[in-house]
Amino acid sequence: MSVRETVESIQLVDNHAHEVRPFSEDLTPERFASYFTEGPESYHARHTIHYRNAIDVLSEYFGVNSEQEVLDRRADVDFEAFSRDLFERANVSHILQDTGTPPDSSPDSFRRYTDAEVSPILRVETEMEPLIEASDDFSTFVSELRDLLVDAVQGPCVGLKSIVAYRTGLNISEPSRAEAATAFDEVKADWTGRIEHPVLLDYTAHLAAEIAGKNDVPIQFHSGFGDADAHPRYVDPGYMWAFMNRHPETDIVLLHASYPYTRTAGYIVSVLENVYLDLGMTIPFVQHGTHGVIRQVLELAPSTKLLYSSDGFYVPEWHYLAAKRIRADLADVLENLIEAGFLREAYAETIARNVLRENARRVYRL
């Protein structure tokens, strides 16, 4: 088999994705385009290469020629069948689902739309918010949160996940218990339903990392772009240096290729044994930049440290387009490296298997 054939045939493990949903509203072009951007639903969202490529791929899928025809066909699909078909074309065998969003997500509801195996990953901040609401004091809150996280990772969850990057940033400090208790009182005094206090978020990020490490599951951290709330500077994984060194027994997966801090992330995973790098969201968002992202991470990162994901959310096109993009562009990059004399064909195939499947199976103990 050629490298390309190998890349095309590997069944993917998608280590970070969300559930899909049928549309319940009118499908305008702006609405549809909003699923292909982290920006607002707007005229501009229809003018990214990512969205235009999605329209092109769907035009071919439906056998039509215009954006409007795609939308008309899309609005009328039998959603369960359409979604199952795209997951089958993506050839993904296992999806690790972030159940934190959309609301009321679960592997059971996701399984209506895909034949892939689905395992949950628990989003820490989403679980914290109702506990803050329900707890009268800090001790109760911490012990309830600890029990909840331990039950999750000793039960069905194959990992934990933190979105602290999108709340206060990856510059995670190490607050004392007393400082965290004071922060809890401040949060309770002015509770909005959303946790945004850096001291309480940082304290619980350490708690979650400690629980993940003790229970032999990884914890994912969003890094880089991926949410309109994210401060473009504080999503740099370089800010997590002290945190990552503080938890050497915990496997940490940096999500989103830390884009645009991809090279920083490649450096980090090359020196810290416990840190891994996911390529999700960046692929397919950066489109023609995908070659560059793959080449950049392979500059320093061992191929045993890189993981594929789609970060697909709400529309199954996303999961499908990510799979299509990684296969085409990983094959291109590996072929170029072989041609330029950096790699032998057999080892290029090992890289492909590691990135697309085997690393995730090992890191998440699937």
Closer residue to Zn ion in complex, CB, 38/332: 38
Helices (DSSP H) in the chain: which residue ranges? 3-9, 29-33, 49-62, 67-75, 79-90, 107-110, 124-134, 138-154, 164-167, 177-189, 198-214, 241-246, 262-271, 282-285, 290-300, 316-339, 345-353, 359-363
Q: Which one of 175-183, 244-252, 307-315, 338-346 is the stretch in contact with Zn ion (CB under 5 A)?
A: 307-315
Calculated CA dihedral for residues 273, 148, 314, 295, nearest 10 degrees? 0
Q: How far is the CB of 256 from Zn ion (least distance, A)?
A: 6
Question: How many of the other CB atoms lie within 10 Å of CB of 172?
Answer: 25
Q: How far is the CB of 9 from Zn ion (least distance, A)?
A: 27
Closer residue to Zn ion in complex, CB, 67/311: 311
Kindly calculate the radius of gyration of the chain based on its CA atoms and give it in whole angstroms: 20
Both tokens of 43, joined, read: 């005229």
The CA distance from 284 to 101, in Å, is 20
Q: Contact, 159 vs 219, CB < 8 A?
A: yes
Q: Contact, 318 vs 282, CB < 8 A?
A: no
Q: How far is the CB of 98 from Zn ion (least distance, A)?
A: 7
Q: How far is the CB of 255 from Zn ion (least distance, A)?
A: 5
Q: Is residue 14 involved in binding Zn ion (CB under 5 A)?
A: no
Closer residue to Zn ion in complex, CB, 251/311: 311
> Which position has the token pair 């049928």?
22
Q: Which one of 203-211, 262-270, 310-318, 348-356 is the stretch in contact with Zn ion (CB under 5 A)?
A: 310-318
Closer residue to Zn ion in complex, CB, 135/223: 223
**Which residue's C-beta sits nearest to Zn ion?**
311
The CA distance from 67 to 46, in Å, is 10
Closer residue to Zn ion in complex, CB, 36/184: 36
Site mask, Zn ion, residues 259-298, x = CB under 5 A?
----------------------------------------
Q: Which one of 24-32, 109-117, 132-140, 304-312 is the stretch in contact with Zn ion (CB under 5 A)?
A: 304-312
Closer residue to Zn ion in complex, CB, 142/279: 279
Which residue of 14, 67, 251, 311 would you call a contact of Zn ion, by CB under 5 A?
311
Closer residue to Zn ion in complex, CB, 311/329: 311
> Which position has the token pair 């195996």?
117
Closer residue to Zn ion in complex, CB, 20/181: 20
If you write DSSP's letter for every residue of 288-357 in order, what string do you get?
A: GGHHHHHHHHHHHS-GGGEE------BSHHHHHHHHHHHHHHHHHHHHHHHHTTS--HHHHHHHHHIIII
Q: How far is the CB of 103 from Zn ion (least distance, A)?
A: 16
Q: Which one of 19-27, 112-120, 306-314, 355-363 is the stretch in contact with Zn ion (CB under 5 A)?
A: 306-314
Q: How far is the CB of 302 from Zn ion (least distance, A)?
A: 23
| Count of residues near Zn ion by CB under 5 A | 1
Q: Contact, 307 vs 269, CB < 8 A?
A: no
| Residue ranges in contact with Zn ion by CB under 5 A | 311
